[in-house]
Amino acid sequence: MDSRAMWMRLKTRRWVYSFSIVSTLALGILIGTVVSFGVKGKEGQKSSDATPLVIPSPKQLSNEFSQIAKQLGPSVVNINTESTIKSPHRRRGGQPPDDQDNGGGGGMDDFFNRFFGGPGGQGGAGGDNSIRERSLGSGVIVDPKGYIVTNRHVVEKADRIRVRLQDDPPGIQHDAKVIGEDQETDLAVIKIDLERAVPSAKLGNSDSMQVGDWVLAIGSPFGQVGTVTAGIVSAKGRDIVPNRQFQTFIQTDAAINPGNSGGPLVNLDGEVIGINTAILSETNAYAGVGFSLPSNTVVQVYNQLIGPDHRVARGSIGIMFDSVENPAITRVYGAGSGVTISSVVAGSPADQAGLKVGDTITTVDGKKVSKGSELVGDIASRKPGAKVDLGFVRNGKQQSTSVTIADRAKLFAARLSDDESGNDESTPKQSKFGITVRKLTPEMADRLDIAAGKGVIVQDVKGGSFAEDIGVGRGDVILEINKQPVNSEDDFAKAESHLKSGQDVVFLVRPRGSSRQDGTIFMAGTLP
């Protein structure tokens, strides 16, 4: 008997055994019922005032979910991709090298790969030191001509993309081509060419959704095509990946698993109000926390990706700021509210307009801004070449300037790989912040693309220290402390000596592995 026959036999016995238990239980219940009917009421007890129970007529229960599933199901597709990558070099003992962000996506790629079967999934080694990989995802047709929205990480770097429609016979798949991709939102548009129109979904307004509203997720988790799960909107405006300025998500508890990525989140009007993108889980499977990119963002990106350039153009002025609001930064830089600049890209519109590190932008064309997301959303929505008036505070004084919007993709195109900080034989000094710093040598400054004589490099960070708590790490370069330049160990010690417990501390830092183009960030907190 082969293994399959044995499994089927065991399965059959299991069901027979289960049925025997159920039958026995049912018999016991039946006997008990018969016995209860045989018990007579006590003599003299009256029940003429009791109202007889009535079995209601059969009625149709709520069928909204089933109707939506029937309506939207045919427009949801299963996406299979194949790609060829070079086999990673092995270290001694056959272990792969540690994961590093080499400028190609880094942590975000790892995040999606773990949860949604991106590169690194199933595959086999090729004869030319390469690996053939396959990944699985979902998508939703938004145009009867065959245009499909999905996640970029589902189709990224794929040699072949094949789409299966829900009404296709088994084994039938359609080749698809990529129309456009957007790394910032992790969205992609692909297209299949058929001689007939295909079922398409209608996109709704994600802003209309409220926390607690019912939603359905439709897709192909673990390859199970046409799976429908239900839940609610758990939260809105979630930021789940640091420094992803154009990704704020709808959180839902509708079950989302590997293979759902790129599929739709649907409201009870049968409208797509999100594209399922990620989950939060310690087991790589559903744990009640899923994230969907809002449909309003999807529409904006889609309309540009199907345009002549097949890309998304976003405005930028060439500044950076701390992505997490920190009151210490506001107090040290003396602005009541606004967005404090932590870095200005050399030669950028902001640089040409005279903006500097430490300036706090408070208005855009007279409209008040208090959060970085508001500033980015406004500037990004403007076309390159347009002009904007910015109000800002510098050293407590209100000022203004006119800035010409640039193309964000071109402005931030240069990305350099992670650099090691190198070794030096000089003796480092220990800081009460819990860090060891060392002056940059000319060779180190050149390699890190930092002006000669500027900054100190962090050689060590003590666990549980103030520096570790605010995010300072080994290899970071500290350029300023509370607006004071730090160009040597002595400068660092001097700045440190003036600070006491309870005071705000703001470091201006070039993070380890970042280039001048990447800019600087603030790391701040209140000294314990």
**Angstrom distance (rounded) from CA 358 to CA 520:** 11
Task: Provide the pairing of β-strand 315-316 with 406-407.
Answer: antiparallel
H-helix segments, 346-458: 349-352, 372-380, 408-411, 442-447
Compare 345 and 506 and report the one with higher pLDDT.
Answer: 506
pTM attached to this predicted model: 0.59
In a domain, 422, yes or no: no
261 flagged as catalytic: yes
In a domain, 34, yes or no: no
In a domain, 279, yes or no: yes
Residue 325 has which token pair?
Answer: 């609001």
Give yes or no: residues 300 and 319 share one domain. Answer: no
Q: With 60 as the cut, is the pLDDT of residue 107 above it?
A: no
- Among 83, 135, 153, 295, which one carries the catalytic annotation? 153
Mean residue pLDDT of the chain comes to: 77
What does the pLDDT look like over 225-282, one tens digit per residue?
A: 889 999 999 999 887 765 566 778 999 999 999 889 999 999 999 999 999 998 888 7
Give yes or no: residues 114 and 173 share one domain. Answer: yes
In a domain, 388, yes or no: yes
Give yes or no: residues 152 and 128 share one domain. Answer: yes
| CATH number (domain holding residue 79) | 2.40.10.10
Give yes or no: residues 131 and 167 share one domain. Answer: yes
In a domain, 94, yes or no: no
153 flagged as catalytic: yes
- Among 75, 83, 182, 186, which one carries the catalytic annotation? 186
- Among 75, 83, 135, 261, which one carries the catalytic annotation? 261
Report angle CA 283, 234, 61 to the nearest 5 degrees: 100
**Angstrom distance (rounded) from CA 191 to CA 175:** 9
- Domain closes at, from 346, 378, 411: 411
- Domain closes at, from 285, 305, 325: 305
In a domain, 324, yes or no: yes
Give yes or no: residues 134 and 228 share one domain. Answer: no
In a domain, 12, yes or no: no
- Domain closes at, from 126, 157, 192: 192
186 flagged as catalytic: yes
**Angstrom distance (rounded) from CA 190 to CA 141:** 9
Give yes or no: residues 144 and 233 share one domain. Answer: no
The predicted pLDDT at position 271 comes to: 95
Tally of structural domains, the chain: 4
Range(s) of the domain holding residue 522: 429-526
Q: With 80 as the cut, is the pLDDT of residue 133 above it?
A: no
Q: With 60 as the cut, is the pLDDT of residue 17 above it?
A: no
In a domain, 250, yes or no: yes
